């Protein structure tokens, strides 16, 4: 099952990267980032509801804890989608995708604060390297660097923080229901929240404009199909492999930005991108894999005692 499952994760990450690129195209055409995020979540909601209809058993929709954690996950995915495209609008697609990929760093910080993850020197060094990568990405050594605005930087990092919130919400909701129910609630929260601040004129005109296929593609690739593939693939894929495969998303978005949108980064900025992506990938692998040897040791210890 590992090879097909890894392929599903690969497709999910690829679709996320492509949806970010399509969102960049819509932003260049004058569409509001919140409107793009709204339709990404709305189409995703329809796709996930179909999944719920196919797997209605053990949904957990009647449990209050499921709703609490799923709403929290929904607030996280809302901020993640919206702030990601805001970062793209005020900066660039490559920068927004890379900064969003810093989400595991925020997961670590929260885990350290609540005692969920033991802090080590190696993890602190890794997070320091991510900070160095961010400094290279924004080219702080150049006083005339204007490609990355403070809004783009803040929105990109907050997008990663919101994704970390989604991760925690989804994790704890999973104990009370299935993934289809959790995602349906999360996307329902997204649609409800973004319906208010979005440009209502653009919301009404999106499906009658020539750009409606792009909105549909962003929703299917960036929320509906990709999340379903990711959840299914994650069940039978080792965490270290999943961490490496996830790096396909920002790499795909960066290549899309270079080839289609004509975005250009300097050598220093590309060095920052490479440092962030490689460090966060290793950080995720260490975080998810360090528990497995310990469980094996405990099992061996129990076996020795029984013998």
Determine, yes or no, domain membership for 225.
no
Question: Which token pair is 261?
Answer: 């949108």
Query: How far apart, in whole angstroms, are the C-alpha atoms of residue 263 and residue 40?
Result: 23
d(CA 49, CA 47): 5
Whether 241 is covered by a domain: the verdict is no
Greater pLDDT, 266 or 16: 16
Q: Is residue 15 a part of any domain in this protein?
A: no
Q: Which two tokens stand for residue 16?
A: 């996320």
In terms of residue numbers, what domain contains 156? Answer: 27-216+263-306
Round to whole Å and give the CA distance between 307 and 297: 15
Let me know if residue 287 belongs to a domain: yes
Query: Which pLDDT belongs to residue 142?
Result: 53
Q: Band the pLDDT of 154: cuts 50, 70, 90.
A: very high
151-177 exposure pattern, b = at least 16 Cβ within 10 A, e = fewer: ebbebbbbbbbbbbbbbbbbebbbebb
Least reliable range by pLDDT among 129-138, 160-169, 239-248: 239-248
Q: What are phi and psi of 131, to 5 degrees?
A: -60, -40
Structure confidence by residue, pLDDT tens digits, 97-114: 888 888 878 888 888 888
Is the model's pLDDT at 221 over the cut of 90?
Answer: yes
pLDDT band at 23 (very low <50, low <70, confident <90, very high): very high
Model confidence pLDDT, tens digit, residues 251-266? 888 888 888 888 887 8
Mean residue pLDDT of the chain comes to: 83
> Would you state the pLDDT for residue 140?
52
- Please say whether the beta carbons of 167 and 80 come within 8 A: no
Predicted pLDDT of residue 56: 67
b/e code 18-52 from CB counts within 10 Å (16+ = b): bbbbbbbbbbeeebbbbbbbbbbbbbbbebbbebb
pTM, two decimal places: 0.83
Q: Are 15 and 225 in contact (CB under 8 A)?
A: yes
Percentage of the chain lying above the pLDDT 90 cut: 38
Q: Looking at the domain assignment, is residue 233 inside a domain?
A: no
| 227 assigned to some structural domain | no
- Whether 196 is in a domain gets the answer yes
- Nearest alpha-carbon partner for 16 in 111, 83, 101: 101
**How much is the pLDDT for 29?**
95
Residue 252 in domain = no
Domain count, the chain: 1
Q: What is the pLDDT of residue 222?
A: 93
**Is the pLDDT at 216 greater than 90, yes or no?**
yes
């Amino acid at each position: 099952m590992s090879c097909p499952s890894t392929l599903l994760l690969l497709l999910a990450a690829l679709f996320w990267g492509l949806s970010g690129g399509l969102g960049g195209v819509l932003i260049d055409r004058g569409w509001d980032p919140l409107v793009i995020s709204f339709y990404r979540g709305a189409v995703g909601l329809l796709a996930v509801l179909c999944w719920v209809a196919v797997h209605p058993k053990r949904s957990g929709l009647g449990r209050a804890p499921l709703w609490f954690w799923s709403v929290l996950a929904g607030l996280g995915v809302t901020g993640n989608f919206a702030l990601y495209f805001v970062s793209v609008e005020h900066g660039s697609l490559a920068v927004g995708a890379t900064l969003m990929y810093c989400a595991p760093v925020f997961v670590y910080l929260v885990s350290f604060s609540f005692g969920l993850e033991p802090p080590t020197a190696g993890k602190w060094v890794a997070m320091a390297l991510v900070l160095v990568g961010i400094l290279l990405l924004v080219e702080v050594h150049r006083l005339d660097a204007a490609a990355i605005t403070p809004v783009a930087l803040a929105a990109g990092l907050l997008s990663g923080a919101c994704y970390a919130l989604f991760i925690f919400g989804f994790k704890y909701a999973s104990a009370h229901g299935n993934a289809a129910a959790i995602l349906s609630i999360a996307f329902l929260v997204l649609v409800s929240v973004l319906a208010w601040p979005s440009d209502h004129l653009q919301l009404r005109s999106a499906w009658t404009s020539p750009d409606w296929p792009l909105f549909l593609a962003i929703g299917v690739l960036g929320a509906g199909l990709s999340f379903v593939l990711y959840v299914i693939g994650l069940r039978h894929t080792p965490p270290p492999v999943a961490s490496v495969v996830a790096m396909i998303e920002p790499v795909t978005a960066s290549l899309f930005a270079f080839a289609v949108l004509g975005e250009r980064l300097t050598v220093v900025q590309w060095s920052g991108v490479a440092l962030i992506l490689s460090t966060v990938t290793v950080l995720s692998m260490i975080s998810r894999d360090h528990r497995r040897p310990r469980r094996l040791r405990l099992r061996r210890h129990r076996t020795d005692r029984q013998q």
